[in-house]
Amino acid sequence: MTDTKPVIAFIGLGLMGAPMAGHLQAAGYEMHLHSRSRGKAEGLIAAGGFWHDDPMAAAASADIVITMVGLPIDVETLYLAPGGLLDRAKPGALLIDMTTSSPALAVRVAEAAAAKGLTVLDAPVSGGVGGAANAKLSIMVGGTAEGFARALPVFEKMGTNIQHQGGPGAGQHTKMVNQTVIAGTILGVAEGLAYAKAAGLDCDRVMQSIATGAAGSVQLNIMGNLMLKGDFAPGFMITHFVKDMSLALAEGTERGLDLKALKVALAQFQTLVDAGLEREGTQALSKAYG
């Protein structure tokens, strides 16, 4: 580690947060860690990370604070509650929320931070557990150009496609676009494979034909093959996708859009949640088709 590297606090060490923090630690950053369960941090602690029982304690001496938590209410509480991050962060700190959350909330947080002399970026990611593990995430960033430039060396340790989308909230809006596209695509994959089975086709041979054609995509080539294998281990949990689709639908409706495919996909995934499958991967959508 060199003296020029900022100290980083990472709050939220779930399936994606832990490997993301691990890449930063491997790059020589001093890491201060907090998660709801200390067990998720044990590997990072063993490698030299500093554990804190309280997220505010983790953030107090950090130059950069990264949060990756579950829901918008978690983000709101962390940042805006009395005694939260905006009250406890080091003067001049850069705060980066990588949770998929509400664009409107991202704007509120950024405005409240600026009033305190702090900079906040909204920087949700796409790529799932595999992208996090391999430092190949797509990172969509909203906030000031100055904040983006300051964060870029850190982002480069976690992702390969890093784009500044605009002002506060723009990163979250871009993630809503991403999730809307995925929703329609994975719905088509599940329905297409259901058709292939109903027609008595060899589904593996069908995949060989269509995977390199116009239908080819990550959702088809990866999730489609997992559907055929019956492998429903989560790269991205249904419960999180339902949250994301709900956010995207609300944002679209507010803007006068009737996002029909998104509505259908959300309804289909909700049937899986109702069946107790919310912690399976999104490829378990195939179960909705028998």
Beta pairing, strands 31-34 & 8-11:
parallel
Whole-angstrom distance, CA of residue 94 vs CA of residue 79: 13
Q: To the nearest 10°, the Cα dihedral for 149, 170, 107, 57?
A: -50
Q: Please state, as a whole number, how many other Cβ atoms lie within 10 Å of the Cβ of residue 245.
A: 23
88 near 58, Cβ under 8 Å? no
Whole-angstrom distance, CA of residue 97 vs CA of residue 82: 18
Token pair in block for residue 1: 């580690």
What's the chain's length in residues? 290
Active-site residue (options: 90, 157, 175, 243): 175
Burial class (CB in 10 A: 0-12, 13-18, 19+), 287: middle
Active site residue 136: no
Reference 159, options 140, 174, 143; nearest CA is 140
Which amino acid is present at 157?
K
Whole-angstrom distance, CA of residue 89 vs CA of residue 218: 39
The set of catalytic residues is: 175
